[in-house]
Amino acid sequence: MHTASQVFAVLIFFSMFIVIVLNKVPRYVPALAGGALTIVVVFLLIMRSPAAVFSVLNVGQMVRPEFWVPGRQPLESSGVNWQTIIFIAGMMVLVEGLGKVGFFRWLCLYVARIVKYKAVSILVAFTLLSGFLAMFIDSITVLLFLATVTIELARMLKFDPVPVIIAEIFASNVGGSATMSGDPPNIIIGTALGYSFMDFLVNTGLIAWVGMVASLLLFYFIFRKGLHSSQKKNPADPSLYPRPKEAVADPLLFKIYIGVFILTILLLITHAETGISVASIGCIAAALTLFFGFKNAARTLAGVDWRTLLFFFGLFVCVGGLEHTGALKALADFIGRVSGGSFVIVMSIILWVSAFSSAIVDNIPFAATMIPVIRSLGAAGMPLPPLAWALALGTDIGGNGTPIGASANVVGTAIAEKEGYPVSWGRYCKYALPAMIIVVGICWILLLVKFS
């Protein structure tokens, strides 16, 4: 029998979800409203438990030394996941600094020059570059710069940029599933369950890149003929090609920020061995970025997407309401009963449900909702790590299915439309949805081989 607290927690959560999906207001607004309603209605009015509020807000965790340097023992988290919020905030500062000195534009132009400005070669190179960059930085940032440079090159070289942008979007979500620091769902999963960068790389990295190669081959054979013929009909003047060094705004700071970026990646790769938490790594990245670029520190901080951080906060409070009232435990029990206790069936359900759900709704709230579910399944005797990898792969790659499935999709298609290359739902889904199903199918087979 459902309690009043469970019913209201579920109603508030799904109301928030619906408003996010409708996309009529910035997503941080319904997230914060949902979080506030969860605290007031569920915790204070119905449960009459201020202790539940403090437990979900989880602020006290940040004053504990093990929050910053947990050592070899993983730090698991419930309620508001401050590890995720602080790490993402730190990476936003670093990425903002890299963008202001021209790093991403320089990298795109440098790769385009290597492949001799050929449209089909740009498709292959930028798809791989998108997947690789998304392993370390947020896929939204990857698409912001890649899509912009792709359109610039397309106008100069006279080819249609939409196929390349679709491939870049797809690759960013697949590449983001390979590591803990890739897509936000992985950061949430890793910090909540205590998994490291290397845990993800070893378990999802190879699977993701098998899917990456498959999707690249698919897009190559679908798009190469049209790209080649359009550029051949409209050859561009080589003297118009932009030079990579023209993108560098500050040569000295450019080199320093690359060093900070490399240091951050090394700290992420080794954080399980060094015992430094991802929150500490985010703070180190932000501090070094602001220190070396102190002249533009205020502009760098102003460029950080604080609304996304507010979105995460409100989301975690709403999910905390579902967890504390037992609603997610009930969902986990239901999945266990439906599967008949079969681990293979549970893993398959999580992968495919995550994939198709994330194609329809934003994959970040879905991942945050499912973490307590798989934690409950693990407590009931299921092997927890494979369920986490299935959730990561399903939410990240499944987000490719529609233009609204992941934040990178929204950003990439919005940039294309703003520049005069609208991407309709029909055109996007015609290519991305079948590719998503194929790649998730490959992941499913490889997960079964690895863990069954």
Residue 142: burial class (beta carbons within 10 Å; 0-12, 13-18, 19+): buried
Residue 156 pLDDT: 85
Strand, helix or coil at 160? coil
Asked whether residue 244 is domain-assigned, the answer is yes
Asked whether residue 72 is domain-assigned, the answer is no
Asked whether residue 110 is domain-assigned, the answer is yes
Q: How do residues 68-90 score in pLDDT, each as one tens digit?
A: 988 766 666 668 989 889 998 99
CB-CB contact of 20 with 31 (8 Å): yes
Instruction: Tell me which residue has tokens 């090609």.
Output: 241
**Residue 258 confidence (pLDDT) above 90:** yes
Q: Rounded CA gap, 54 and 156, in Å? A: 56
Q: How do residues 94-118 score in pLDDT, each as one tens digit?
A: 989 999 999 999 999 999 999 988 8
What is the total count of domains within the chain?
1
**Residue 450 confidence (pLDDT) above 60:** yes
Residue type (1 letter), 431: Y
Q: How do residues 194-213 score in pLDDT, each as one tens digit?
A: 898 999 999 999 999 999 99
Q: 187-191, 321-325, 335-339, 440-444 — which one is most confidently predicted on average?
A: 440-444
Instruction: Tell me which residue has tokens 């940029």.
Output: 161
Token code pair at residue 161: 């940029």
Residue 1 pLDDT: 41
Residue 17 pLDDT: 84
Q: Rounded CA gap, 347 and 340, in Å? A: 12
pTM recorded for the entire structure:
0.88
Q: Rounded CA gap, 248 and 104, in Å? A: 9
% of the chain residues with pLDDT over 70: 96
DSSP 438: H
H or E stretch covering 41: none
Token code pair at residue 319: 């999910």
Q: Please choose, from the candidates 439, 442, 372, 370, the residue with its C-alpha nearest in 3D space to the C-alpha of residue 399.
A: 439
Q: What's the first-to-final CA gap in the chain, in angstroms? A: 35
**Residue 304 confidence (pLDDT) above 50:** yes
pLDDT (mean) for 355-368: 85
Tell me the residue range of the domain where 267 lies: 4-67+77-451
CB-CB contact of 367 with 395 (8 Å): yes
Asked whether residue 440 is domain-assigned, the answer is yes
Q: Rounded CA gap, 31 and 35, in Å? A: 6
- Residue 249's φ and ψ, nearest 5 degrees, are -85, -35
